[in-house]
Structure 1
Amino acid sequence: MKKSEWSDKQLEELLRQMPRIQDNRNPRDIYQNLSIKQRKKPAWVVPGLATAAALLLIILLVPNLLGGTEYSFDSLKQENSSSEEKISLSDENSANLLKKADTADRGQEISEPELKMMTGSNKSAIYDDEIGNGTVITYWIPDSQVQMLVPISTVVNPDTSKDWLTVFTESMGLLKEEEWGLTDYYPLNATFKWDSNTNTVTVDVPSDHKYGQGSTAETIFIHSLNNNIASNSKVNKIIFTTNGQPGIELGNHGFIKEMKVEPVGKHAYFSYTPDGMDSIYLVPSTEKYQNLNEAFEAMKAGQQELGLTASIGPSFTFKEFSIKENRLIINMDENSKMENNLATVISFEAILLTAKEFGIETIAIVNPPIQLLGPFDLSKEIKVPLAANLRLIQ
């Protein structure tokens, strides 16, 4: 056979001028086929045919091999390492892995505490075994009709350089009230200053503030300030100023300089669904109850005038309960038809949150009809939540 007069450089230039052929085969298959072809060298093949076949193979594969060989092998490595990661992590927590992989694809970062909370099936509240080193912040947001306040809680990463009030005020602008079916209320048109020595918070408003225009605006403003500070701190007094001058003018309260912070407690939690939304919130009553029995009875009826529905339904009926050293013991009815569904989980969390309002720390269920209720194991004592209605903000 006559030696080719084409140099390597000329062949390469000729191949570059040919039309590009897209090879859609898997890189793994190409690599296998090449390996097999390299091992098989039949001696009986006519040299001319072998040369033609080799030239055709080069034409087909050179563009992919030159431009994509490194990518192909890297892809194989990535597939193998990804498989190894899935195997090792799935045993630990498969739900966390799925969430982590999904967020990695989107280029988003989700902290470990957030992953734990997201995987709790049907949970709405925040529990102390889920937050890691994070800090819980609760905001009290008016409902869409501005009739009541809905507690919305989130978890922020710890920052030792910032006090609780700085974290609280910096995060106000990140709330998504309208997206959650609530009133767009934050950030408040005020500045806040915490004095750790006197255990007070100074709230300074501009002279053109709107918080005193109308009884509803005034009531919501006063109650939200009280609940926000009571839920997130041990502060016992609020000092008001306007443009740095003592006092604030409000329609019903008149001119006031300070206000005592009332602790949040002794309320009953009801179910609330904003109009046109699927979200279900657990919301405390506007009035207080003298004891836990009164609160439980109210929770069976609801408060229709505020759009609050009963949170203890037929799916969670119990005969009696007792309290021993901050421990609530609930004896279930033998005929209870408890089902493992969302409605029952909501009832149980409403009971947990209401019990917390009366100083209860743990709840034990005696003779539960089922052992597992959503994420809860009813055969064990369960701690009350840290806060209601978890929503994650960036």
Structure 2
Amino acid sequence: MKDEKWGEQEIEKLLSQAPKIQDNRSKEDVFAKLKEAGAFEEEVPVQKVIKKKRSLFGIYGLTAALLLFAFGGVYYISGNKSQDDTASTSMENADMATKEAEAEGEMTSGSPMMIRNFVLEDMRTAVYPEQLESSKAFYIGLAGDDAESVPVTIIIPNEQLIEDFGTDSPSQVAMYQKYAALIDEQAAGFNDYHPVKGIVEEQGLTVVHTLPQNHGYDTASGTMSMYIGMLVDTFGKSYETVEILNEEGSAMTFSEVGEPSEPLLLTEKKHYSYFIDEQAGGIYLSPNFRQAFDTVTEALYFMKTENNDIYQSVILPGVDYTVTEEDVVTVTFTQRLDLEAFDPQQVMYMIEAVLLTASSFDKQVRFENVMQTEWQEFNFAQVLPMPVGANKLSIEFLQK
């Protein structure tokens, strides 16, 4: 063959001259021949697929190479079949290869990939300590569809914090004062709520919220519940109490309560069980109507129940467990749990809801009687990391 470069026109001309050959063999016969030839012996490595843009020339070149392979008289697949049958089979293979190459060209590196049932993306919804090595978590409670606060966590890179505050360790109140007005709540799937009315300040480990008249946070039990939940979700990890004052500096009297409010004790308000909370903008893990518990064992057992139409249990169907509470909480499944037998995202919700529930008591969790030693980012031979925040929200929702 001449040593020359082929252009697209020459390749298209070659394709147009290819004979239109009929192949009356069954698909089963073709598959058997291919299998006999060892066409399916190569193992596909389990790894992330990086986006590779295929040029049109590359796709045509692959097709042309397969055509030349066919025209060269390859007979080992078809055995006693004629040369026409071999060419037809190779034409089918060339068309399949072309479609696969085009599909790979359309694939993006951010797309969820499945290779031999392995999910090649991090499906975790919570935030973990290693994700804050060069960042800081900004916590905030957003207004959900059911007049309840949904806790979310936004990771702010240190360089952004230094640009905004002159330091990479601003307080949560300072971050709220800066970022609350910038969140595009509707784009994130929530109702507009922030920034709250009045003035939010801090005094040591106390948040002081001074409210104006006609603030509207006590017009009904739902609005009051949303307000209190928001304070816990936004400031509960960094402060001990919230004092709610009127413009005269006295304790606020809410119409739903009828007497001056006592300081809100944040440390007593965060011992929750986490459930699936389906919002218009997606699925989140949230406390079940802020029901608090005295012990982590009570909170973890409560996760098995469904006592309303809003919050759904994260526990997988047919799965049960026992809880042992020591320095580390041990959750033991009563039957050996095969994580691959369930939808992977549902498995992740269950694992993370347990971790979040335990973390509200400052406890870590060890799972026992799990078939897989490693799954996603978790190693079940070890104590699992304690989440530092629920429901990671992209920093893209902070408008600049």
SS in structure 2 at match of 1:145? coil
User: For residue 181 of structure 2, what is the aligned residue in structure 1?
Assistant: 173
Identity within the alignment, %: 19
1:330 corresponds to 2:334: no
Distance 1:241 1:120 in 2: 49
SS in 1 for 2:354: helix
Aligned to 1:261: 265
CA distance in 2, matches of 1:267, 1:120: 29
| Equivalent residue, structure 2, for 1:246 | 250
1:203 aligns to what SS in structure 2?
strand
1:348 maps to which residue? Answer: 351
Query: Aligned pair 1:164/2:168, yes or no?
Result: no
CA RMSD, 1 decimal: 2.9
| Closer/same/farther in 2, CA of residues 388 and 303 from structure 1, 3 Å limit | farther
- The answer to whether residue 233 in structure 2 is matched with residue 230 in structure 1 is no
Amino acid at match of 2:392: L
Query: In structure 2, which of residues 208, 219, 222 is the aligned counterpart of residue 202 of structure 1?
Result: 208
Separation (CA, whole Å) in 2 of partners of 1:168 and 1:378: 36
Q: Does the CA contact (< 8 Å) of 1:316 and 1:348 recur in 2?
A: no
| Pairing 1:185–2:193 present | yes
- Partners of 1:129 and 1:247 in 2: CA distance: 40
Distance (Å, rounded) in 2 between the aligned partners of 1:348 and 1:200: 33
Instruction: Provide the residue aligned with 1:294 in structure 2.
Output: 298
What pairs up with 1:28-107 in 2 under 5 angstroms? none
Checking the alignment, whether the CA contact within 8 Å between 2:139 and 2:389 is kept in structure 1 is yes
CA change 1:236–1:249 in 2 (3 A) is closer
> Residues 283 and 219 of structure 1: is their aligned pair in 2 closer, same or farther, counting only changes over 3 Å?
closer
Compared with structure 1, are the counterparts of its residues 123 and 316 closer, same or farther at alpha carbon in structure 2 (3 Å cutoff)? Answer: farther
8 Å contact 2:128–2:388 — kept in the other structure? Answer: yes
Aligned amino acid, residue 346 of structure 1: Y
Q: Partner letter of residue 285 of structure 2?
A: L
Q: Which runs of 5+ in 1 are unaligned?
A: 1-28, 30-92, 99-118
Q: Which residue of 1 aligns with 2:137?
A: 136
How far has the Cα of 1:168 moved from its partner? 1.7
Partner residue, 2:372? 370
TM-score, reference length from structure 1: 0.61
> Which structure 2 residue ranges, 5 or more long, are not aligned?
1-6, 8-46, 52-119
Distance 1:230 1:334 in 2: 36
Query: Does the Cα contact within 8 Å between 2:338 and 2:370 map onto a contact in 1?
Result: no
Q: Secondary structure at the match of 2:123?
A: coil
Partner of 1:211 in structure 2? Answer: 217
Instruction: String of CA shifts for 1:137-173, please: whole Å, max 9, x gaps.
Output: 2111231121x22101112234428433111221112
Secondary structure of residue in 2 paired with 1:137 = strand
**CA separation of 1:333/1:236 partners in 2, compared to 1, >3 Å: closer, same or farther?**
same
Q: Structure 1 pair 217/323, CA: closer, same or farther in 2 (3 Å)?
A: closer
Q: Which residue of 2 aligns with 1:149?
A: 149
More helix by share: 1
Q: How much has 1:274 moved relative to structure 2? A: 1.4
Contact 2:153 / 2:391 at 8 angstroms: preserved in 1?
yes
Change (3 A) 1:303 1:274: farther
Deviations 1:307-339 (A, max 9, x none): 111111137543x332332x1223334443332
Partner of 1:274: 279
